[in-house]
Amino acid sequence: MTENGVFSRDKVLTIDTMNPTVKNVEYAVRGPIVQRAMQIEKELREGVKKPFTEVIKANIGDAHAMGQQPITFFRQVLALCSYPELLNENMFPEDAKNRARRILQACGGGSVGAYSASQGIDCVRQDVARYIERRDGGVPCDPDNVYLTTGASDGIVTMLKLLVCGEGASRTGVMISIPQYPLYSAALAELGAVQVNYYLNEEKCWSMDLSELERSLAEARKHCNPKALCIINPGNPTGQVQSRQCIEDVIRFAAKERLFLMADEVYQDNVYAEGCQFHSFKKVLFELGPEYSDNVELASFHSTSKCYMGECGFRGGYMEVINMDPEVQAQLSKLVSVRLCPPVPGQALMDLVVNSPQPGEPSHTTFMKERTATLSLLAEKAKLTEQILNTVPGITCNPVQGAMYSFPNISLPEKSIKEAKALGQAPDMFYCMKLLEETGICLVPGSGFGQKDGTYHFRMTILPPTDKLKILLAKVKEFHQKFTQQYS
Amino acid sequence: MTENGVFSRDKVLTIDTMNPTVKNVEYAVRGPIVQRAMQIEKELREGVKKPFTEVIKANIGDAHAMGQQPITFFRQVLALCSYPELLNENMFPEDAKNRARRILQACGGGSVGAYSASQGIDCVRQDVARYIERRDGGVPCDPDNVYLTTGASDGIVTMLKLLVCGEGASRTGVMISIPQYPLYSAALAELGAVQVNYYLNEEKCWSMDLSELERSLAEARKHCNPKALCIINPGNPTGQVQSRQCIEDVIRFAAKERLFLMADEVYQDNVYAEGCQFHSFKKVLFELGPEYSDNVELASFHSTSKCYMGECGFRGGYMEVINMDPEVQAQLSKLVSVRLCPPVPGQALMDLVVNSPQPGEPSHTTFMKERTATLSLLAEKAKLTEQILNTVPGITCNPVQGAMYSFPNISLPEKSIKEAKALGQAPDMFYCMKLLEETGICLVPGSGFGQKDGTYHFRMTILPPTDKLKILLAKVKEFHQKFTQQYS
């Protein structure tokens, strides 16, 4: 003790005294490999000699960072909402001004700087509801069931938060696909829920097998209380698009086994492969008839961050809840009120996505041209990625039917696996780290998403501009061959 | 069981099977009284006859909703960032364009639609650090200790999340002032932490008493493990500004008792009373010398939502952590990466707040004029509110030294208390509900913030335009007299 009565002391908050569930959280998409990539970028700026001149980041679905241009109409309306003085200028088309006026009228004091209702701005939720109805061929949508969110992640975490309870063998289990998007595992770890894995079938283009769902559930019931089933369609990190039949099977399974369904549908416009089509879980649920549509509980999620928009920075999104117990829904409404409201510019952007320029409006032609160009380019790059990766001996790649990712299977020589394990690294982390150091290409190892034991993968986005994507794929090819040789 | 094998079933997720900690969450600022106010607004629109023609909302610190105008410079830069084509127009001042260019250069692909680093955009964190250094008379600030957040709420919840652990008598306790801002109680309920109350001294203008802190801590140690002490300065809902001496006492207390300090300083520019001045906890900590500044762990929070900006809808904010254990800080950085990044427009706005127009720049004069006008008007309204409320027999009101709220003490007749209790309502909820129904004025009852047993209060913002504020205060006066008469 010092003279002033203050203990010369250890920290109050240490790695041993902190929340243990936070320690269990892992998030590979922004994990050690990305941190190293940022260091390397800094080293390059400082003039450190490397065998490459730039880091190519294909680790995260961040379209604008990879050069995709925003939709002009969206940004015009956002500028008008930010600085309504611009409504007096002649430089903006009338439909952009009308959208901005409508959004501003719905804001407190006519300002996007006011808090909105916690569930989101009324007129935006109404527009979302109409969008869902159009998308789903007229299946009704009640705006009261729509919650605007801070990106889709916020909605997913909020729903999981409502679901989790119990201790020991009655602890809530949540079924997630493996490979998965690590937001799910991170949220479940933080909430102390049980992660229940079901494996996607890599041989059948990452489809969902009913028998695997049954195995997974039966296994889980021995040690926890599985209450929810999460699906990502189109798939992240696996890029598959589920067939209507598969969705139907999953809904029947959820109904039979009493599971709350969570459908992550943020890539709903990202469908590239011929013969593939996006089917929303909600639409299929209603097509199965009232026995299902009146009973099965479903939350579905969408976002401004993906599709042709790629507006990740605005953190816009929504969720729709169906057949939720009214008492629980009241709790949900209360829970979201604590964080006051989702960012209003993101809500405005979500509105524009669900209420885009219509035929006859001045911005329609440009909007459609920009939208189509972006989606066509993504479709091309999906094809290119699959084709080139499949020319590499030791790399096998399913078609990128949708979303923004390829998740190829990589054969790793025994010797490299041993060396990785000696370093305490997952073998595909060892591989990706070496790839980064030698080529400047930043991918995420499959181990960050989960995979069948003894298989190895990486996730890469198809987002880099075509010329860079070609360089990237050529470098991966060369590296893989060299790596295989080196460790054989 | 139906013919198709589907149980006609209860919900999976019900009030009985949902997360019990969520059920314990309460958030009065958007609670039942606000829901009723929204219903009444709807009824008025539908032509229902009421003894008033509009609802006046003084329930939430939402300046723009109450007619406060945004700072022109901020909105110009935000419009430029949203739609960079505007950089080619002559209508914006050069300093606005320069700020926008600087922010855009720091964004991936030059777009605010790209994800930022999870901790926030580098150059914004650097600007925040320089702002803190200026504010605190040169006390150094490391940008690596600055985390941009989704409003201050996000930062506060994140810090609490790191702190909470243990079960039973070793469960983490967190000391919060009573009255408090109910984000704290809500977050603690959700995390299952123990809320440890210390009472502010209403007789001494809601100041903090060392003896009360000691009493509260000693009491808490009997049944939990108190690890943190939260302070809101200037105060919400109580509007006091802490003296430098008081802050020093609190820091010495935290050092002696080994408590992690959390300083909620979102109202740092909202100081109105003569002789009052804002002192940041960080500055005082460093003035106490290295024995304190090298040891005491502190997180402080700021936001774009309050002060002269009032930009709540953008959800911008930051926190600075001081003396945080490096291993814990690595966990913090990992934890924030799961939610990807705070909204980028909010980050841009935070940048403008900490890097506002300087003397000599073209926007400086207008900026200063707007800023001063807003703060002067708030100071006037603070005075007006205190003066008028204190003319009402049965209402006693401390000076609104800072922040945006008055939290007057109201004497309620015994008969009204009995009637409220018979209805299962807190007596001040009964009072505020009646006030709303009869006058259209929406306030929040003191019971939503906590208060000494047997005392009753309400919180009202000083934000309505002066003419409406006068009407509001006159109506409250009239109502209080009528209410007192009716129940005497």
Quick one: B300 and B410 in the same domain? no
Tens-place pLDDT, residues B75-130: 999 999 999 999 999 999 999 999 999 999 999 999 999 999 999 999 999 999 99
Q: Is residue B214 part of a domain?
A: yes
Quick one: B200 and B259 in the same domain? yes
Q: How many CB pairs under 8 A join A and B?
A: 308
Quick one: A210 and A247 in the same domain? yes
Whether A163 and B111 lie within 8 Å, measured CB to CB: no
Helix (H, G, I), strand (E, B) or coil at A148: strand
- B289 beta partners: none
pLDDT at A3 over 60: no
Residue type, B177: S
Q: Is residue B158 part of a domain?
A: yes
Q: Is residue A91 part of a domain?
A: no
Tens-place pLDDT, residues A223-244: 999 999 999 999 999 999 999 9
pLDDT value of position A9: 54
Q: Where among A329, A354, A379 does a domain terminate?
A: A354
Quick one: B257 and B296 in the same domain? yes
Chain A residues inside the 8 Å CB shell of B67? 109
Chain A residues inside the 8 Å CB shell of B344? 313-315
Chain B residues inside the 8 Å CB shell of A255? 6
Q: Is residue B68 part of a domain?
A: no
Quick one: A238 and A348 in the same domain? yes
Buried b / exposed e over A325-336, threshold 16 CB at 10 Å, is: beebbebbbbbb
Give the structural domain span for B459: 31-60+368-486
Q: Is residue A264 part of a domain?
A: yes
Residue with tokens 């719905």: A106
Whether B291 and A27 lie within 8 Å, measured CB to CB: no
pLDDT at A5 over 90: no
Helix (H, G, I), strand (E, B) or coil at B412: coil
pLDDT value of position A28: 76
Residue B192: φ, ψ to 5°: 70, 25
| Shortest Cα–Cα distance, A482 to chain B (Å) | 32
Quick one: A302 and A153 in the same domain? yes
Whether B5 and A256 lie within 8 Å, measured CB to CB: yes
Task: Find, in chain B, the residue whose alpha carbon is nearest to that of A118.
Answer: B30
Half-sphere exposure of B341 (CA within 13 A, CB side): 29
Residue B199: pLDDT band (50, 70, 90) is very high
Q: Which of A190, A338, A349 to mutate to test the interface with B (most CBs of B within 10 A)?
A: A338
Average pLDDT, integer, range B239-245: 97
Tens-place pLDDT, residues A311-358: 999 999 999 999 999 999 999 999 999 888 999 999 999 999 999 999
Whether A343 and B314 lie within 8 Å, measured CB to CB: yes
**Count of domains in chain B?**
2
Task: Find, in chain A, the residue whose alpha carbon is nearest to that of B110.
Answer: A65
Quick one: A476 and A379 in the same domain? yes
Quick one: A388 and A347 in the same domain? no
Whether B18 and A162 lie within 8 Å, measured CB to CB: yes
What CA–CA distance (Å, rounded) separates B86 from B73? 14
Residue A143: pLDDT band (50, 70, 90) is very high
Q: Is residue B262 part of a domain?
A: yes
pLDDT value of position B168: 87
Q: Is residue A8 part of a domain?
A: no
Tens-place pLDDT, residues A249-295: 999 999 999 999 999 999 999 999 999 999 999 999 999 999 999 99
Chain B residues inside the 8 Å CB shell of A113? 63-64, 70, 309-314
Task: Find, in chain A, the residue whose alpha carbon is nearest to that of B253.
Answer: A6
What CA–CA distance (Å, rounded) separates A226 from A251? 16
Task: Find, in chain A, the residue whose alpha carbon is nearest to that of B251.
Answer: A6
pLDDT at B9 over 70: no
pLDDT value of position A168: 87
| Facing residue for A22 by CB, picked from B107, B162, B310 | B162
Q: What is the CATH number of the domain that holds A164?
A: 3.40.640.10
Chain B residues inside the 8 Å CB shell of A67? 109
Distances (CA, A) of B290 to B245, B252, B329: 18, 13, 21
Q: Which residues contact B191 (CB under 8 A, 6 or more apart)?
A: B21, B160, B161, B164
Q: What is the CATH number of the domain that holds A410?
A: 3.90.1150.10
Q: Where are the alpha helices (H) located in A423-465, listed in sequence order?
A: 427-439
Residue B396: pLDDT band (50, 70, 90) is very high
Task: Find, in chain B, the residue whose alpha carbon is nearest to that of A164.
Answer: B19
| Shortest Cα–Cα distance, B389 to chain A (Å) | 26
pLDDT value of position A6: 46
Quick one: B329 and B380 in the same domain? no
Q: Which of B115, B229, B351 to mutate to test the interface with A (most CBs of A within 10 A)?
A: B115
Taking Cα atoms as reference points, which of B162, B329, B27, B184 lies closest to residue A333?
Answer: B27
| Shortest Cα–Cα distance, B473 to chain A (Å) | 21
Quick one: A61 and A120 in the same domain? no
pLDDT value of position A278: 98
Task: Find, in chain A, the residue whose alpha carbon is nearest to that of B313.
Answer: A113
pLDDT value of position A4: 45
Chain A residues inside the 8 Å CB shell of B115? 60, 62, 65, 312-313
Whether B163 and A13 lie within 8 Å, measured CB to CB: yes
Q: Where among A297, A324, A354 does a domain terminate?
A: A354
pLDDT at B444 over 50: yes
Chain A residues inside the 8 Å CB shell of B106? none
Chain B residues inside the 8 Å CB shell of A107? 64, 313
Task: Find, in chain B, the residue whose alpha carbon is nearest to that of A228.
Answer: B12
Tens-place pLDDT, residues A414-451: 999 999 999 999 999 999 999 999 999 999 999 999 99
Quick one: A182 and A328 in the same domain? yes
pLDDT value of position B6: 46
| Facing residue for A13 by CB, picked from B113, B150, B325 | B325
pLDDT at A477 over 60: yes
Sheet strand arrangement including B405-406: B405-406, B458-461, B444-445
Chain A residues inside the 8 Å CB shell of B70? 111, 113
pLDDT value of position B5: 45
pLDDT at B228 over 50: yes
| Mode of pairing for the β-strands spanning A405-406 and B444-445 | unpaired
pLDDT at A300 over 80: yes
Q: Where among A327, A354, A381 does a domain terminate?
A: A354
Task: Find, in chain A, the residue whose alpha carbon is nearest to that of B164.
Answer: A19
| Shortest Cα–Cα distance, A438 to chain B (Å) | 23
Residue A32: pLDDT band (50, 70, 90) is confident
pLDDT value of position A29: 74
Quick one: A128 and A253 in the same domain? yes
Tens-place pLDDT, residues A450-474: 999 999 999 999 999 999 999 999 9
pLDDT value of position B32: 86
Chain B residues inside the 8 Å CB shell of A38? 117
Q: Is residue A122 part of a domain?
A: yes
Distances (CA, A) of A158 to A336, B69, B355: 8, 33, 34
SS3 content of chain A, % helix, strand, coil (to 5): 50, 15, 40
